Structure 1
Amino acid sequence: MAKLYYRFGQMNASKSIQLLTVAHNYEEQGKKVSLFTPAIDARFGQGRIASRVGIAKHAMPVDDDTNLFELVQEAPSDCVLVDEVQFLRAYHIRQLARVVDQLGIPVIMYGLMKDYRNQLFEGSEAAVLWADQIEEIKTICADPTCNRKATMILKIKDGKPVYTGEQIEVGGNELYRSVCRRHYFHPNLAEM
């Protein structure tokens, strides 16, 4: 029976490489996979899912006008994989739920849960509300003196922590660090 999965984690938790591994496993068995990624995230090129370890695949970019249900219905696959789901709209997540319920195709969504202000993203909130199964992908705090689980995202600009502002500013390690709660409020920026 098909399910809607939401696999979340902090930055550098291996979400994208896990997605790419799942895609490879399906394709290795001769099955078709549909890959989607938000158009807003073009860090590795428009419509590319890439891992920091250097592996990448082409994906269909999703913008506000994209109807995921219609796209999958027109070109059915054995599995739908979505990267950076936090940047999608709530209606995109409902469309993915319809893919599972009406087309019987499993959907696995990967992404962040919270932003650097410790607020849910629209796509993440909808994923939590609609998913059949929620799984955490864990990583450790970016502070080299700490072995705690990373539960927060710290935004750093001009060498200083940032806790307010616009929710979405696409970036990687140059802008964000995954940290534990203690280092979110008391970062050792010189050590990170």
Structure 2
Amino acid sequence: MKRQAPAAARNRQPILDVLQPRLPREGLVLEIASGTGEHIVHYAAARPELTFQPSDPDADARASIDDWVRTLGLDNVRPAQEIDVTRAVWPVERADAVLCCNMIHIAPWEAAVGLIAGAARLLPPRGLFFLYGPYRRGGRHTAPSNEAFDADLKRRNSAWGVRDLETVIEQACAQGFSAPDIIDMPANNLSLLFNRL
């Protein structure tokens, strides 16, 4: 039942290193598009004082997440929820931080718009909104590998693709977020850390 993704095993600690000083001291951390569940259980094990809410629209992914939680015996992770970010109402009504890794390029742009709007609805002032993944900067790919990845995504689905960093920031600022801190990550990815104004 548990799924494993080699990329998740590689990047979960670098992501946690970025998140650690930014996560709230207490409260609920919502992860959108939790995938295999390997990220959220890693964060939850490191921050037992926080409650974590995983989510994914895919039933098999939710089963994997819940299996990881059971196997590791984590009591600060809630059962995975089905969340469609394009809907105006989510089953979670508030959160102290919203995290999303590697989703907005493997989904239509409407999903990114819905994600940002949903995070804005849920978060309190100064609440953390975290995005991780590859981005174009100034209209250009940051590495040949990202350009090849983008072409592959668009071959698979014309609505997918590596997003322009500036467009994502503009969308977030329009929904009431601060300009982000931008941190370079391994494998030509970026961490974007927004705060709700």
Q: Which structure dedicates a bigger proportion of its chain to strand?
A: 1
* Higher share in helix: 2
Larger radius of gyration: 1
TM norm. shorter chain > 0.5: no
TM-score band, normalised by the shorter chain? 0.3 to 0.5
User: TM-score with structure 1 length normalisation?
Assistant: 0.44
**Higher RCO, Cα 8 Å, sep 6+:** 1
